[in-house]
Amino acid sequence: MFGRFKGGRPGTVAIDARTPIKQVRYVAIDTELTGLDEKKDGIVSLGAVRMTGGTIHPGETLYRLVNPSHELRAESVVIHEITPSEVREQPDIRTALLEFFAFCGQDVLVGHFVNIDLCLFDRESKCITGKTVTNPVIDTISVYTWLRRRLPMAEYFSLPETGTSLYDIARTFNIPLAGAHNALQDAFTTAQLLQRFLPLLAEAGATEIGDLLKIGIPFEGGDHHYRPTGEICNF
């Protein structure tokens, strides 16, 4: 079906598209910001959880608070509850991101509305290394949209959609929520979401990573500008 697949982003590392989804290493990621505008604000915390196929490795995680170069805005502090005093003595974004990139290696990144995270990573990475992020990337909202259209009668999709946020879809899949808007907890929730998706993907005929990378291509914009992508993918 595929030979090598580069994941839809310029400069992305090629991956053998025929590798079974269940054999691939993934890192589920999340960030919290200094404000509500991903184009102007900065990263104040990073969370990452490693997976192999549908197996989550709870001992292989990364969580870092960041002393940001941007002022922490009150409206953001109310959401993630990270205060200026908590990050004053924390590493700067350069130190935190280099550690984050080392943790991720060349694993496939997984995020919910992940383009927000990618925009931030690319912006900071260009300043630090001169390059953007090269990992293949999967957006769980794109996968969710594709599955909902392919398997409308499946248990999780037979009822009306209640929302497309990470927490809305987690509730749909009976994933317990704790510590919402904590970057590590949200990364763990994202990992569980991918875990729930894998048997449904197999049921829909998507069994190789090339299939999943096409289905899960990140779309432009965040959850405030949501438009479905998976509907056009026939892999």
pLDDT above 70: residue 175: yes
pTM, two decimal places: 0.87
- Give, as one character, the DSSP assignment of residue 219: P
Q: What confidence tier does 222 reach under pLDDT thresholds 50, 70, 90?
A: very low
The answer to whether residue 50 sits within a structural domain is yes
Domain that holds residue 181: 16-232
pLDDT of residue 194: 98
On whether residue 1 sits in a domain, the answer given is no
171: in domain: yes
Can you give the pLDDT at residue 204? Answer: 96
Whether 6 shows a pLDDT value over 80: the answer reads no
Q: Look at the chain and report how many structural domains it folds into.
A: 1
Give the full edge-to-edge strand order of the sheet including 108-111: 55-65, 43-52, 25-33, 108-111, 137-139
Identify whether 224 is part of a domain: yes
For residue 103, is it within any domain?
Answer: yes
Which of 6-15, 74-83, 103-112 is modeled with the greatest confidence? 103-112
Half-sphere exposure of residue 13: CA atoms within 13 angstroms, side-chain side: 14
- Range of lowest pLDDT (10-19, 25-34, 140-149, 169-178): 10-19
Look at residue 5 and tell me if it is in a domain: no
Residue 217 included in any domain: yes
Tokens of 92: 């700067």
C-alpha distance from residue 167 to each of 2, 15, 50, 141, 225 (Å): 33, 30, 20, 12, 17
Contact 26, 56 (CB under 8 A): no
What percentage of residues in the chain have a pLDDT greater than 70?
85
CATH number of the CATH domain containing 21:
3.30.420.10
pLDDT reading at 208 higher than 60: yes
What pLDDT was estimated at residue 8? 59
Q: Is residue 148 part of a domain?
A: yes
Asked whether the predicted pLDDT for residue 10 surpasses 70, the reply is no
